[in-house]
Amino acid sequence: MDFSQRLEHIHALLKKTWSTDEWWPNEAGPFETCLGAILTQNTSWLNAEKALCSMKKEGLVSIEKVREIPINELATIIRSSGYYNAKAKKIKSFVDYVYANYNGIICDLLKQPITKLRNALLEIYGIGNETADDIILFASNKPSFVVDAYTLRIFSRIGILQKNVDYSTAQQFFHKNLDNNTLLFQEYHALVVILAQNNCHKSLPECITCPIQNECEWGRKEVIY
């Protein structure tokens, strides 16, 4: 199989094993989704979700409200996300950028073409490649494949990516070998996260029960004959 066929086959095996219907909150608005993308940096989604819920309880679900709250108070509210002082600064920078450049209207930012949107996001303090693509894919609903630590771990173990490949090269690989489809990219990313959480751990991966063990160089080494 070529790379496209292998990626399609892996996707099919993962989709057969797990559902992604409830993986990301369909009811979340675009601003809330952007907040989640920042809060989940260097932490689990569970911790980020707790912080997001705390913000919602305080009514901090609009550009205006987040812009008004003092940064130290915001940091306290999102404490569960870890690195809360830095993340409060990042959220404030994001909000200030949207307010200054789009009159506080998040949809005016998100409706930009992918390249322009990505460049704009990368100008904002605290937003790197992964967070930018999270926002593009899930808040703007445009096809930009997210390459996170789980993606690099899994596909380097499979033998498709080099272990230390840079972000841009890895993303270009997926863009080249998958259909340019937003729903596919969303679903694939969700399945990769689920696989990493259930089987492909950083240490002591559970290869025997992994649904793609036979497709993985690392996993095939774990087969007990």
> What pLDDT, in 10s, does the model give residues 136-174?
999 999 999 999 999 999 999 999 999 899 999 999 999
Band (pLDDT 50/70/90 cuts) for residue 24 is low
Integer Cα distance of 57 and 119 in angstroms: 32
DSSP state of 137: I
Position 25 scores a pLDDT of: 55
Structure tokens that stand for 123 in this block: 């100008």
Share of the chain above pLDDT 90, in %: 88
| Mean pLDDT confidence for 72-77 | 98
- Residue 105 predicted with pLDDT over 60: yes
Question: In sequence order, what E strands does the chain have?
Answer: none
Q: How many CB atoms are located within 10 Å of the residue 8 CB?
A: 16
Band (pLDDT 50/70/90 cuts) for residue 133 is very high
Position 224 scores a pLDDT of: 47
Band (pLDDT 50/70/90 cuts) for residue 219 is confident
CATH 3.50.50.60 fits 30-139, yes or no: no
| Mean pLDDT confidence for 58-80 | 96
Instruction: Give me the chain's average pLDDT, please.
Output: 94
Position 220 scores a pLDDT of: 85
- Residue 62 predicted with pLDDT over 70: yes
- Residue 11 predicted with pLDDT over 70: yes
**CATH architecture of residue range(s) 3-21+146-221:** Orthogonal Bundle (1.10)
Every domain of the chain and the residues it spans:
3-21+146-221, 30-139
DSSP state of 223: -
Position 223 scores a pLDDT of: 54
